[in-house]
Structure 1
Amino acid sequence: MSIAYFWSRSLLGNRGFLWLLLWCNLLGTVYGYYWYAEQMEYTVANNPFWQVIFVPDSPTASLFFTIAVYTLLYPPRTKFGYGFRLLIEALAVVTSVKYGIWAVSIIFAGYAQGSPLVWQDWMLVLSHSAMAIEALLYVRLFKLGETMLIPAVAWTFLNDTVDYTYGVFPWLPVQLMDDIASVQYFTFGLTLFSALLAWLVIRQARR
């Protein structure tokens, strides 16, 4: 068996593998919202309620990808459903790449400034790396086109804006709290990078 089989359409599109992927991402999403529970409670208690939706960035990206996998298993049959599928796929790709890279980068940036690496950090590094990789692999099976990246990028920039305007960005290692401006610039830049990477991968996949 060639190693290329592990990212081939025959494996990625296999229904059994898709179900496994869906459950892994669904469980990861649930755990992700649990991980953010304390910050979400804090936000609800201290900020306008609407801002809480912008707190759990990675779990929401994982949720988008979980729904996108579900639509591969059960493709929508209506125009509205098809449009919804394209939007979810675009959101899944852009946000999974963005927050996958973001989380890993922040963990190691904190470590570089003295934050200890514990087993939860390594778990997050592995799971968030997988988020970015799986999103890029599944572009070949998704139906989204380049145009759908526009609303996905708009949503992600909105999320960044709310995060750093109202202070509801994911809690950082204490060592990075004096580098908020740098983290903010990195976050906005990573949204643009993720959109560009998604665009390039879509163009390549359509050839």
Structure 2
Amino acid sequence: MGVPISWFWSRSFLLSRLFLWVMFIFNFLGTVYGYIWYGNQIEDTVSNHPLWQVVFVPDSPTASLFFTLTLLYWLFPPQGNSRFVNGARMIIEGLAVVTSIKYGIWAVSMIVAGSMQGDPLQWEHWMLMVSHTAMAVEVLLYARFMRAGVGAAVIGTLWLLLNDTVDYTYDVFPWLSDRLMDDLTAVKWFTYSLTIFSFIVGALALRARKET
């Protein structure tokens, strides 16, 4: 008999060391690529804005970084029962969940919105849509194995709200297609709304978690 499809999102498959390493490598490389992708905007921010605002520029790769760190906890489980280590782990997991859901959906939405207004879709756009969709899907698959609870999702959401506020107050939001710049107010409120949506979905996913 063949392997049932359900096995591929089972605990035994998703938490196997081989698959965790595959996930780690892909997410690590994607994180590095993401920071490189934001390179020009980071340089522009350093040159024209206060240095502290740089932290809020690379949204998607930072979300990917949180999930990459989460994978490390499974690959190399901390020894002992340190409250600090466990607390840091839960906060990172909460950040990974809400930020990956949000920026996975946000990036795809902006590409589709630009395309609907006349932007031609290049191969980079298709690559970004696939990779950002994967960000949201993978974190939802793994949320049920995380230790984080709703409290950690709240912390992650507060970070997102701060990020949104800095982005659209100081104009350090991710660079948009020229065709979307006249819709900036709509993009702003969509971004805030997506933060709340990501909290709701992330909190529900974490409430369904199983202890690892």
- Specify if TM > 0.5: yes
Deviations 1:41-88 (A, max 9, x none): 000000000101100000000000000000111122322111110000
Per the TM alignment, residue 200 of structure 1 is displaced from its structure 2 partner at its CA by 1.4
Residue 32 of structure 2 corresponds to which residue in structure 1?
A: 30
Deviations 1:25-47 (A, max 9, x none): 00000000000000000000000
Residue 183 of structure 1 corresponds to which residue in structure 2?
A: 187
Among 127, 132, 136, the alignment partner of 1:132 is 136
Alignment of 1:110-189 (within 5 A): 110-189=114-193
Compare 75-84 and 56-65 and name the one that shifted more: 75-84
Alignment of 1:77-92 (within 5 A): 77=79, 78-92=82-96
Equivalenced residue count is 207
* AA at the equivalent of 1:91: L
Among 42, 45, 49, the alignment partner of 1:43 is 45
CA contact (8 A) 1:93 1:136 kept: yes
Among 10, 14, 17, the alignment partner of 2:16 is 14
* Distance in 2, Cα, partners of 1:72 & 1:144: 13
CA contact (8 A) 2:147 2:209 kept: no
How high is the TM-score relative to the length of structure 2? 0.95
CA contact (8 A) 1:76 1:85 kept: no
Structure 1 vs Structure 2: percent identity of aligned residues?
56
Structure 1 stretches lacking a partner, 5+ long = none
Per the TM alignment, residue 152 of structure 1 is displaced from its structure 2 partner at its CA by 0.8
CA contact (8 A) 1:139 1:205 kept: yes
Partner SS, residue 205 of structure 1: coil
* Distance in 2, Cα, partners of 1:169 & 1:21: 28
Per the TM alignment, residue 201 of structure 1 is displaced from its structure 2 partner at its CA by 1.6
* Distance in 2, Cα, partners of 1:110 & 1:64: 28
Deviations 1:96-122 (A, max 9, x none): 000000000000000000111000000
* AA at the equivalent of 1:67: L
Per the TM alignment, residue 206 of structure 1 is displaced from its structure 2 partner at its CA by 5.2
* Distance in 2, Cα, partners of 1:91 & 1:72: 16
